[in-house]
Amino acid sequence: MISPPTRIKTKTPSPYILTAIETVTHDTKTFRFELPADATLDMQPGDFLYVHATLDGKTVKRAYTPSSLPGMMGFFDLTVKRYETGVVSKYLHDRHTGDAVLMSGPNSGGHWVDGMATRVGFVAGGTGITPMISIIRWILNMKLKVELFLIFANKTESDIMFRQEWEDNTHQFPNFHCHHVLEQSPSGWSGSTGRITSEIVQQRLPAPSSDTCVFLCGPPPMVDSLETTLKELGYPEHTIILP
Ligand SMILES: Cc1cc2nc3c(=O)[nH]c(=O)nc-3n(C[C@H](O)[C@H](O)[C@H](O)COP(=O)(O)OP(=O)(O)OC[C@H]3O[C@@H](n4cnc5c(N)ncnc54)[C@H](O)[C@@H]3O)c2cc1C
Protein backbone atom coordinates (compact mmCIF):
# COMPACT_ATOMS: atom_id res chain seq x y z
CA MET A 1 0.00 0.00 0.00
CA ILE A 2 1.28 3.48 -0.84
CA SER A 3 1.34 5.67 2.27
CA PRO A 4 0.19 9.30 1.99
CA PRO A 5 2.95 11.94 1.78
CA THR A 6 4.24 13.59 4.95
CA ARG A 7 2.91 17.16 5.01
CA ILE A 8 5.43 19.60 6.48
CA LYS A 9 4.51 22.70 8.50
CA THR A 10 6.57 24.18 11.33
CA LYS A 11 5.94 27.04 13.75
CA THR A 12 9.62 27.45 14.60
CA PRO A 13 12.35 28.09 11.98
CA SER A 14 13.67 24.82 10.49
CA PRO A 15 16.68 24.37 8.20
CA TYR A 16 16.15 23.52 4.51
CA ILE A 17 19.09 22.68 2.24
CA LEU A 18 19.44 24.70 -0.96
CA THR A 19 19.93 22.24 -3.83
CA ALA A 20 19.72 24.37 -6.99
CA ILE A 21 19.66 28.00 -8.12
CA GLU A 22 18.18 29.10 -11.45
CA THR A 23 18.35 32.58 -12.96
CA VAL A 24 14.87 33.87 -13.90
CA THR A 25 15.60 37.49 -14.86
CA HIS A 26 18.52 39.92 -14.41
CA ASP A 27 17.62 40.37 -10.70
CA THR A 28 15.47 37.34 -9.88
CA LYS A 29 16.43 33.75 -9.10
CA THR A 30 14.57 30.58 -8.21
CA PHE A 31 16.00 28.74 -5.21
CA ARG A 32 15.17 25.04 -4.87
CA PHE A 33 15.10 23.54 -1.36
CA GLU A 34 15.17 19.88 -0.40
CA LEU A 35 12.39 18.01 1.37
CA PRO A 36 12.42 14.32 2.31
CA ALA A 37 11.50 12.29 -0.81
CA ASP A 38 8.07 11.37 0.58
CA ALA A 39 7.24 14.86 1.89
CA THR A 40 5.48 17.97 0.60
CA LEU A 41 4.73 21.35 2.18
CA ASP A 42 1.39 21.44 4.00
CA MET A 43 -0.05 24.37 2.06
CA GLN A 44 -2.81 25.60 -0.21
CA PRO A 45 -1.77 27.24 -3.50
CA GLY A 46 -0.81 30.82 -2.54
CA ASP A 47 0.26 30.23 1.09
CA PHE A 48 3.66 31.53 2.18
CA LEU A 49 6.76 30.70 4.24
CA TYR A 50 8.91 32.99 6.38
CA VAL A 51 12.64 33.00 5.69
CA HIS A 52 14.57 33.77 8.90
CA ALA A 53 18.11 35.10 9.08
CA THR A 54 20.37 36.61 11.71
CA LEU A 55 22.32 39.47 10.15
CA ASP A 56 24.68 41.72 12.11
CA GLY A 57 23.26 40.15 15.29
CA LYS A 58 19.69 41.09 14.34
CA THR A 59 17.04 38.48 13.62
CA VAL A 60 14.91 39.27 10.57
CA LYS A 61 12.21 37.43 8.65
CA ARG A 62 10.43 38.01 5.34
CA ALA A 63 7.51 36.25 3.63
CA TYR A 64 7.94 34.26 0.39
CA THR A 65 5.28 32.33 -1.51
CA PRO A 66 6.62 29.07 -2.98
CA SER A 67 6.42 29.32 -6.77
CA SER A 68 6.57 25.54 -7.32
CA LEU A 69 3.50 23.46 -7.99
CA PRO A 70 1.79 22.79 -4.62
CA GLY A 71 1.96 19.13 -3.69
CA MET A 72 5.43 18.57 -5.24
CA MET A 73 7.25 15.94 -3.22
CA GLY A 74 10.95 16.13 -2.37
CA PHE A 75 11.44 19.85 -3.01
CA PHE A 76 9.92 23.32 -3.18
CA ASP A 77 11.01 26.54 -4.90
CA LEU A 78 11.17 30.17 -3.83
CA THR A 79 11.52 32.80 -6.57
CA VAL A 80 13.09 35.93 -5.13
CA LYS A 81 13.90 39.33 -6.57
CA ARG A 82 17.13 40.88 -5.28
CA TYR A 83 16.87 44.43 -3.97
CA GLU A 84 20.18 46.28 -3.78
CA THR A 85 19.20 47.66 -0.35
CA GLY A 86 17.15 44.59 0.62
CA VAL A 87 18.16 42.64 3.71
CA VAL A 88 16.70 39.14 3.23
CA SER A 89 16.52 39.14 -0.59
CA LYS A 90 20.25 39.90 -0.70
CA TYR A 91 20.94 37.27 1.96
CA LEU A 92 19.15 34.65 -0.17
CA HIS A 93 20.93 35.72 -3.37
CA ASP A 94 24.26 35.32 -1.54
CA ARG A 95 23.51 31.66 -0.63
CA HIS A 96 25.16 28.72 -2.42
CA THR A 97 23.93 25.19 -3.07
CA GLY A 98 24.50 23.08 0.04
CA ASP A 99 23.70 26.00 2.39
CA ALA A 100 20.89 25.65 4.94
CA VAL A 101 18.23 28.37 5.15
CA LEU A 102 15.86 28.68 8.11
CA MET A 103 12.15 28.82 7.32
CA SER A 104 8.86 28.55 9.20
CA GLY A 105 5.38 27.85 7.91
CA PRO A 106 3.68 27.49 5.52
CA ASN A 107 1.34 30.21 6.74
CA SER A 108 -2.12 30.82 5.42
CA GLY A 109 -2.42 33.74 2.98
CA GLY A 110 -5.23 34.62 0.60
CA HIS A 111 -5.14 31.31 -1.23
CA TRP A 112 -6.95 29.27 -3.85
CA VAL A 113 -9.39 26.56 -2.78
CA ASP A 114 -10.67 24.17 -5.48
CA GLY A 115 -14.24 25.03 -6.45
CA MET A 116 -14.14 28.64 -5.21
CA ALA A 117 -14.72 30.08 -8.74
CA THR A 118 -14.92 29.05 -12.38
CA ARG A 119 -13.49 32.32 -13.76
CA VAL A 120 -10.41 33.67 -12.04
CA GLY A 121 -8.59 36.95 -12.63
CA PHE A 122 -4.97 37.46 -11.57
CA VAL A 123 -3.52 40.97 -11.35
CA ALA A 124 0.19 40.84 -10.55
CA GLY A 125 3.00 43.37 -10.34
CA GLY A 126 6.64 42.17 -10.35
CA THR A 127 7.28 39.50 -7.70
CA GLY A 128 3.54 39.61 -6.91
CA ILE A 129 3.46 36.90 -9.58
CA THR A 130 4.79 34.19 -7.21
CA PRO A 131 1.47 33.28 -5.53
CA MET A 132 -0.19 33.54 -8.94
CA ILE A 133 2.16 31.10 -10.65
CA SER A 134 1.66 28.60 -7.88
CA ILE A 135 -2.15 28.86 -8.20
CA ILE A 136 -2.08 28.86 -12.04
CA ARG A 137 0.22 25.81 -12.14
CA TRP A 138 -2.12 24.03 -9.73
CA ILE A 139 -5.32 24.77 -11.70
CA LEU A 140 -3.77 23.84 -15.07
CA ASN A 141 -2.04 20.76 -13.70
CA MET A 142 -5.20 19.50 -12.01
CA LYS A 143 -7.14 20.21 -15.24
CA LEU A 144 -9.79 22.08 -13.25
CA LYS A 145 -12.63 23.55 -15.30
CA VAL A 146 -11.58 27.12 -14.61
CA GLU A 147 -10.99 30.01 -17.04
CA LEU A 148 -7.85 31.98 -16.11
CA PHE A 149 -7.15 35.64 -16.94
CA LEU A 150 -3.74 37.06 -16.02
CA ILE A 151 -2.72 40.73 -16.17
CA PHE A 152 1.00 40.99 -15.42
CA ALA A 153 2.63 44.40 -14.92
CA ASN A 154 6.38 45.04 -14.99
CA LYS A 155 8.77 47.93 -15.47
CA THR A 156 10.50 46.64 -18.61
CA GLU A 157 10.43 43.56 -20.84
CA SER A 158 13.56 42.20 -19.11
CA ASP A 159 11.69 42.14 -15.77
CA ILE A 160 8.97 39.69 -16.92
CA MET A 161 9.30 36.56 -14.80
CA PHE A 162 8.39 33.11 -16.23
CA ARG A 163 7.72 34.69 -19.64
CA GLN A 164 8.22 31.45 -21.57
CA GLU A 165 5.73 29.66 -19.32
CA TRP A 166 3.05 32.31 -20.00
CA GLU A 167 3.63 31.94 -23.75
CA ASP A 168 3.58 28.15 -23.58
CA ASN A 169 0.40 28.18 -21.45
CA THR A 170 -1.32 30.50 -23.93
CA HIS A 171 -0.62 28.02 -26.76
CA GLN A 172 -1.29 24.87 -24.75
CA PHE A 173 -4.36 25.80 -22.71
CA PRO A 174 -7.39 27.47 -24.33
CA ASN A 175 -8.61 28.43 -20.84
CA PHE A 176 -5.46 30.50 -20.10
CA HIS A 177 -5.32 34.16 -21.13
CA CYS A 178 -2.44 36.54 -20.45
CA HIS A 179 -1.94 40.26 -20.96
CA HIS A 180 1.34 42.06 -20.25
CA VAL A 181 1.61 45.70 -19.18
CA LEU A 182 5.00 47.44 -19.19
CA GLU A 183 5.90 50.83 -17.75
CA GLN A 184 8.52 51.20 -20.50
CA SER A 185 7.80 49.13 -23.61
CA PRO A 186 9.99 48.47 -26.66
CA SER A 187 8.82 49.45 -30.14
CA GLY A 188 6.40 46.93 -31.64
CA TRP A 189 5.23 45.84 -28.16
CA SER A 190 1.91 43.96 -28.40
CA GLY A 191 0.84 44.44 -24.76
CA SER A 192 -0.17 47.64 -22.98
CA THR A 193 2.15 50.45 -21.92
CA GLY A 194 1.94 52.44 -18.67
CA ARG A 195 0.04 51.37 -15.56
CA ILE A 196 -2.84 48.90 -15.24
CA THR A 197 -5.92 51.07 -15.84
CA SER A 198 -9.61 50.55 -15.23
CA GLU A 199 -10.03 50.05 -19.01
CA ILE A 200 -7.42 47.27 -19.08
CA VAL A 201 -9.15 45.57 -16.14
CA GLN A 202 -12.53 45.77 -17.89
CA GLN A 203 -11.10 44.40 -21.15
CA ARG A 204 -8.95 41.64 -19.70
CA LEU A 205 -10.63 40.30 -16.55
CA PRO A 206 -13.88 38.35 -16.29
CA ALA A 207 -16.78 40.63 -15.28
CA PRO A 208 -17.90 40.48 -11.63
CA SER A 209 -20.23 37.54 -11.00
CA SER A 210 -21.02 34.98 -8.33
CA ASP A 211 -18.47 32.51 -9.77
CA THR A 212 -15.65 34.99 -10.36
CA CYS A 213 -12.78 35.95 -8.06
CA VAL A 214 -9.68 38.09 -8.56
CA PHE A 215 -6.25 37.58 -6.98
CA LEU A 216 -4.29 40.82 -6.59
CA CYS A 217 -0.62 40.97 -5.53
CA GLY A 218 2.22 43.44 -6.08
CA PRO A 219 3.83 46.55 -4.60
CA PRO A 220 1.51 48.08 -1.92
CA PRO A 221 0.68 51.29 -3.88
CA MET A 222 -0.37 49.20 -6.90
CA VAL A 223 -2.47 46.87 -4.74
CA ASP A 224 -4.19 49.80 -2.95
CA SER A 225 -5.04 51.58 -6.18
CA LEU A 226 -6.24 48.47 -8.02
CA GLU A 227 -8.30 47.25 -5.08
CA THR A 228 -10.18 50.56 -5.29
CA THR A 229 -10.53 50.18 -9.07
CA LEU A 230 -11.88 46.63 -8.73
CA LYS A 231 -14.44 47.72 -6.12
CA GLU A 232 -15.53 50.65 -8.33
CA LEU A 233 -16.02 48.18 -11.19
CA GLY A 234 -18.39 46.14 -9.02
CA TYR A 235 -16.22 43.27 -7.76
CA PRO A 236 -17.52 42.51 -4.24
CA GLU A 237 -14.84 42.81 -1.54
CA HIS A 238 -14.93 39.09 -0.66
CA THR A 239 -14.10 38.16 -4.27
CA ILE A 240 -10.88 40.23 -4.26
CA ILE A 241 -8.16 38.04 -2.75
CA LEU A 242 -4.84 39.44 -1.58
CA PRO A 243 -2.32 36.56 -1.18
C1 LIG B 1 2.84 37.14 1.62
C2 LIG B 1 4.07 37.66 0.91
C3 LIG B 1 4.69 36.87 -0.04
C4 LIG B 1 5.84 37.34 -0.69
N5 LIG B 1 6.42 36.54 -1.63
C6 LIG B 1 7.53 36.98 -2.28
C7 LIG B 1 8.15 36.16 -3.26
O8 LIG B 1 7.72 35.04 -3.54
N9 LIG B 1 9.25 36.64 -3.88
C10 LIG B 1 9.79 37.87 -3.58
O11 LIG B 1 10.81 38.26 -4.18
N12 LIG B 1 9.22 38.67 -2.64
C13 LIG B 1 8.11 38.25 -1.98
N14 LIG B 1 7.57 39.03 -1.00
C15 LIG B 1 8.29 40.25 -0.57
C16 LIG B 1 9.34 39.83 0.49
O17 LIG B 1 8.67 39.40 1.68
C18 LIG B 1 10.29 40.96 0.91
O19 LIG B 1 9.54 42.10 1.26
C20 LIG B 1 11.29 41.33 -0.20
O21 LIG B 1 12.10 40.21 -0.54
C22 LIG B 1 12.21 42.44 0.26
O23 LIG B 1 12.80 42.07 1.49
P24 LIG B 1 14.27 42.57 1.84
O25 LIG B 1 14.56 42.16 3.24
O26 LIG B 1 15.24 42.15 0.79
O27 LIG B 1 14.12 44.15 1.70
P28 LIG B 1 13.90 45.18 2.90
O29 LIG B 1 15.17 45.25 3.67
O30 LIG B 1 12.66 44.84 3.63
O31 LIG B 1 13.67 46.51 2.09
C32 LIG B 1 14.74 47.28 1.54
C33 LIG B 1 14.27 48.11 0.35
O34 LIG B 1 13.89 47.24 -0.70
C35 LIG B 1 12.82 47.80 -1.42
N36 LIG B 1 11.69 46.87 -1.41
C37 LIG B 1 11.47 45.90 -0.51
N38 LIG B 1 10.38 45.19 -0.84
C39 LIG B 1 9.89 45.75 -1.96
C40 LIG B 1 8.78 45.46 -2.78
N41 LIG B 1 7.96 44.40 -2.53
N42 LIG B 1 8.57 46.24 -3.87
C43 LIG B 1 9.40 47.26 -4.14
N44 LIG B 1 10.48 47.59 -3.40
C45 LIG B 1 10.72 46.84 -2.32
C46 LIG B 1 12.48 49.07 -0.80
O47 LIG B 1 13.10 50.11 -1.49
C48 LIG B 1 13.03 48.94 0.59
O49 LIG B 1 13.32 50.17 1.14
C50 LIG B 1 6.39 38.61 -0.37
C51 LIG B 1 5.76 39.40 0.58
C52 LIG B 1 4.61 38.95 1.22
C53 LIG B 1 3.95 39.83 2.25
State pLDDT tens for residues 204-232: 999 999 999 999 999 999 999 999 999 99
Q: What is the mean pLDDT of residues 47-69?
A: 94
61 lines ligand 1 (CB under 6 A): no
CA 157 to ligand 1 centroid distance, Å: 20
Q: H helices within 162-219, ranges in order?
A: 163-172, 198-204
Domain spanning 6-107, CATH class? mainly beta
If you average pLDDT over residues 70-93, what whole number do you get?
95
User: Quick check: 75 pLDDT over 80?
Assistant: yes
The SS3 call for residue 238 is helix
Mean pLDDT of 60-69: 94
* Minimum CA distance residue for ligand 1 atom 32: 86
Q: What integer pLDDT is reported at residue 194 of this predicted model?
A: 97
Tell me, using a 6 A CB cutoff, whether residue 65 lines ligand 1.
Answer: yes
**Residue 19 CA to ligand 1 centre (angstroms):** 23
**For residues 83 and 18, is the Cβ–Cβ distance under 8 A?**
no
Whole-angstrom Cα distance, residue 205 to residue 213? 10
| Percentage of residues of the chain with pLDDT beyond 90 | 93
The CATH architecture one would assign to domain 119-241 is 3-Layer(aba) Sandwich (3.40)
CA angle 117, 121, 123 (to 5 degrees): 145
**What's residue 243's pLDDT?**
82
**Cα of 88 to ligand 1 centre, how many Å?**
8
Per-domain boundaries in the chain:
6-107, 119-241
Ligand 1 within 6 A of 218 CB? no
pLDDT score at 110: 87
88: Cβ below 6 Å to ligand 1?
yes
Averaged over 78-104, what is the pLDDT?
97
Arithmetic mean of pLDDT, 164-177: 97
Alpha carbon distance 34, 20 (integer Å): 9
Ligand 1 atom nearest to CA at 62: 17
Nearest CA to ligand 1 atom 20: 89
> Above 80 in pLDDT, residue 67?
yes
pLDDT recorded at residue 121: 98
pLDDT of residue 109: 84
Q: Whose CA is nearest to atom 31 of ligand 1?
A: 86
The residue to mutate among 83, 95, 130, 161, having the most atoms of ligand 1 within 8 angstroms of its beta carbon, is 83
Query: Has residue 4 got a pLDDT over 90?
Result: no
Given a cut of 80, whether residue 2 has pLDDT beyond it is no
Ligand 1 atom nearest to 87, measured from its CA: 25
Q: If you average pLDDT over every residue of the chain, what do you get?
A: 95
Pocket flag, ligand 1, residue 111 (CB < 6 Å) = no
Query: What pLDDT is recorded for position 1?
Result: 63
- DSSP H helices, the chain, are 87-93, 129-141, 163-172, 198-204, 220-232
pLDDT in tens, 124-165: 999 999 999 999 999 999 999 999 999 999 999 999 999 999
**Spacing, Cα 145 to ligand 1 middle (Å):** 33
So what's the pLDDT on residue 3?
A: 78
- What DSSP designation does 83 have? P
Distance CA 169, CA 180 (A): 14
d(CA 119, CA 138) in angstroms, rounded, equals 15
Using a 6 Å cutoff on CB, does residue 89 contact ligand 1? yes
Distance from residue 38's CA to the centre of ligand 1 (Å)? 31
